[in-house]
Amino acid sequence: MGMTITEKILALHAGKDSVGEGDLIEARVDLALANDITAPLAIRVFKDLGAGRVFDPNRIALVQDHFVPNKDIESAQQVKILADFARQHDIRHFFELGESGIEHVILPERGLVAPGDLVIGADSHTCTYGALGAFSAGVGSTDLGVILAIGKIWLRVPGTIKISYRGRLGPWIGGKDLILNTLGRLGVDGAIYKALEFRGEVVRGLSMEDRFTMANMAVEAGAKNGIFEPDEITRAYVEDHSGKKGLYLSSDHDASYQDTLEIDVSGMEPQVALPHSPDNVHPVSHVDPVRIHQVFIGSCTNGRLCDLKVAAELLKGRSVARGTRLIVIPGSPAVYKKAIQEGIIETLLNAGAVIGPPSCGPCLGGHMGVLAEGERAVSTTNRNFVGRMGHPKSEVYLAGPAVAAASAVLGRVGGPEEL
């Protein structure tokens, strides 16, 4: 019996010829990462273990990205813990404020992840790197603390759900629409501890940015990881960003899948997830045109240059509606700089947007865009649970940058075709 790409990566990192669904393995970790919220607890666990040194200072990434620039004394203390630990252990990939951004944006940009890698992070959206053909998954801070010491992790090999996309994408449809539509079919518990393997003719034509978006939200279906087979688009991205060669694996033709899902994208409208769940998904034309108080474009899901480009294309020559605030946060300094060079930032500012420094920002309801009671937001983030972006009596609608930008102009939920 053949193996899926997920099984092949895990077998290689466990030093085994083959693995199958349900096997328990001890696997070598290529990259361990944590942020300003999750790293302090992991560091405490590391110290409690009595470990003298980290397993490899070149294979750890510490990123300050959630509450930065520091919003209060507590968040400043959190970042100080990271900085002190990084200096003490000579951790190469500690990102200072001026070079830092959203961890899941900057790590691929900096070439720290390559196809075939095994990446573990103390953040649930570590699954983002599956876009590169890596096995990447989130764990708790306690697990990460142990990994900092020994560079290994116990894993149960997940079964795989193969999702194939066919047809032709219409205008304004991107990776966010594909993954929202998929979540609407699977549900938030439809892939618990499974691998989602994204396949098909549509996937082969997707940009890396769209793939990052889709892999990022695999966890919203409960998946352990999301993954794409690396191809020439992947290779071009890796060669442009990394000195790592990578391992270009693919699933065997006789690999065993727990389930398969076929999705025809022809005629698909932009998708919107209504409050309060990422799987409460409807075409934008079926969504009530409720008034919107805030629009947020950014996050590890849609804070890349192409996302800002889509928004600027729709906002050029237009203005944000009165009574609606538009917050845009580039995912990294590189994205921010390129957006300035291409005139994107000027277009967004002329439309009435507020531009924030690279960080997670309002995504988790902690900084630079918290919602008040009764307010509604359209957001390009990945979660819209009760209280996710602020007051428990606020509401969040998830969408791609096209719907977000259109809604900012309209002052209500609406699609780009209305403009």
> Over the stretch 279-336, which tens digit does the pLDDT of each residue have?
999 999 999 999 999 999 999 999 999 999 999 999 999 999 999 999 999 999 999 9
| Residues 283 and 314 occupy one common structural domain | yes
Domain end point (choices 234, 262, 290):
262
Give residue 31's domain range.
5-262
Cβ pair 362, 274 in contact under 8 A = no
Peptide bond into 69 cis (omega under 30): yes
| Residues 276 and 210 occupy one common structural domain | no
CA distance 196 to 206: 17
| Residues 208 and 301 occupy one common structural domain | no
- What the block records as the tokens of 199 is 């396949």
Domain total for the chain? 2
Q: Which residue type does 122 have?
A: A
Domain end point (choices 262, 280, 303):
262
| Residues 278 and 254 occupy one common structural domain | no
**Can you give the pLDDT at residue 1?**
83
Q: Which residue has the tokens 């400043």?
A: 76
| Residues 166 and 18 occupy one common structural domain | yes
Peptide bond into 286 cis (omega under 30): no
**Can you give the pLDDT at residue 288?**
96
| Residues 232 and 120 occupy one common structural domain | yes
CATH number of the domain encompassing residue 152:
3.30.499.10
**Can you give the pLDDT at residue 243?**
84
| Residues 172 and 100 occupy one common structural domain | yes
| Residues 306 and 191 occupy one common structural domain | no
User: Which segments of the chain have a pLDDT < 70?
Assistant: none
| Residues 210 and 303 occupy one common structural domain | no
- What the block records as the tokens of 139 is 């764990």
| Residues 107 and 231 occupy one common structural domain | yes
Domain end point (choices 241, 262, 283):
262
Q: At what angle do helices 141-150 and 39-48 cross, to 10 degrees?
A: 50
| Residues 213 and 309 occupy one common structural domain | no
| Residues 315 and 338 occupy one common structural domain | yes
